[in-house]
Amino acid sequence: MYLSGFIYLYHNSKSLIYSVWYTILAYILIQVSETLSYYLLSTVIGENNIESNWFLFSVATLIEIII
DSSP 21-33: HHHHHHHHHHHHH
Separation CA 3–CA 13 (nearest Å): 15
Separation CA 42–CA 50 (nearest Å): 12
Predicted confidence (pLDDT) per residue in 30-52, tens digit: 888 777 777 777 777 766 666 66
Predicted confidence (pLDDT) per residue in 51-62, tens digit: 667 777 777 777
Stronger pLDDT, 14 or 29, i.e. the higher one: 29
Claim: this prediction has a pTM higher than 0.75? no
pLDDT at 49: 63
pLDDT at 2 over 70: no
Mean pLDDT of the chain: 74
